[in-house]
Amino acid sequence: MDGIRLRVANRDLLEWDYGEYEGRQTAKILAERPDWLLFRDGCPGGELPQQVATQADRVVSRLRAVVGNSLVFSSGHFLRVLATRWLGIEPVNGGSRILNTASLSALRYENSLSQPDAC
């Protein structure tokens, strides 16, 4: 494959570990914990937002080291954290508002490496 590098699964791109909330609907969780926010509180028995952000930071570091374009596949919540870390913000400050589920999204630079952008 001329000019194309293929990489297999990377553990840092795995889906957020939802622990006790795995398979549960958000509405049912909120009925028990009305103030719960995934991107602030994480999941009991699962991962905390900062743990997921640390994984995303490793992915961002690898992506920024690549010359050219990269294609990344993962789950929606992890990709939202990845986008926040790409932009240099904490997941709680935008994780639930960045990217749409089942969509193609682009993380890019506006004019230079110091100006990350998402579209």
Q: What is the mean pLDDT of residues 30-54?
A: 96
pLDDT at residue 18 above 90?
yes
Share of the chain above pLDDT 90, in %: 49
Nearest CA-CA partner of 3 in 68, 71, 72 = 68
Confidence of residue 8 (pLDDT cuts 50, 70, 90): low
For 1-119, where are the alpha helices, taking DSSP H only?
26-32, 38-41, 49-64, 76-87
Neighbours of 22 (CB within 10 A): 12
* Tokens of residue 6, six digits: 């293929």
All domains in the chain, ordered by first residue: 22-118 (3.40.50.1240)
Q: How far, in Å, CA of 74 to CA of 103, rounded?
A: 11
pLDDT at residue 7 above 70?
no
Q: What is the mean pLDDT of residues 43-48?
A: 97
* Tokens of residue 14, six digits: 């795995």
> What is the structure's pLDDT at 6?
56
pLDDT at residue 1 above 50?
no
**pTM for the whole thing?**
0.84
pLDDT at residue 3 above 90?
no
Q: What is the mean pLDDT of residues 17-40?
A: 96
Going from the C-alpha of 99 to that of each of 5, 30, 44, 67, 112, the distances in angstroms are 26, 22, 25, 24, 22
pLDDT at residue 100 above 80?
no
